[in-house]
Amino acid sequence: MKRSNAGATLIEIMTVLTVLAVFLSVGLPAFSDTLTQLRVQTAMHRISADLAAARSIAIARRSQLVVCPRSADHRCRDDSDWTLGWMFFLDPDGNRQPDAMADILGSREAMPRGVTVTATRLYLRYQHDGRSAHSNQTVRLCAGEQLAGTVVVNNLGRVRSARPQQPTDCPR
């Protein structure tokens, strides 16, 4: 009499679970690092694109424009932490705050989990000709405690981004 194979044995199930556990213990950390790199890359592109767009709008409208970290009520924060988001707005009176919601031309929400963004100055102001007022602005992106990238705006308003060539601690 021939027996039909009705299922898996306990030894087969334990073997499959052991192999699966090994693959997950090796694969998940690598996947987590890849996910963090993609989050940082996306954040760098967003910041670069918004800064370039703000400069173009300042030139097109021949008006001062401010980029700053934003609060929940769409005001400029009084620190240089962009992790909670940022905005750019027309600032014809130079008070570095949007006077009306219509002045706000762009706004970004908070960064993905694990990515922090800080800048060297509280805000960036573009002049009517696209130049950046004052000194260079550097926006630093950190993943955990490591510097993951920088976005720099020079005095002429040009935006460039870079990634560190070797592991670097995130500046405080």
Give residue-wise pLDDT tens across range 91-112.
888 888 999 898 999 999 888 7
> Is 42 among the domain residues?
yes
CATH code at position 21: 3.55.40.10
118-138 residue pLDDT tens = 999 999 999 999 999 877 899
Q: How far apart are CA 109 and CA 85, in angstroms?
A: 5
Residue 170, in any domain of the structure: no
Sign of CA dihedral 8, 13, 14, 19: positive
| 115, part of any domain | yes
Dump pLDDT digits (tens) for 41-93: 889 999 999 999 999 999 999 999 999 999 988 999 999 999 999 999 998 88
Domain that holds residue 76: 10-162
What torsion do the CA atoms of 118, 121, 127, 129 make, to the nearest 10 degrees?
-60
Number of domains in the chain: 1
Is 126 contained in some domain? yes
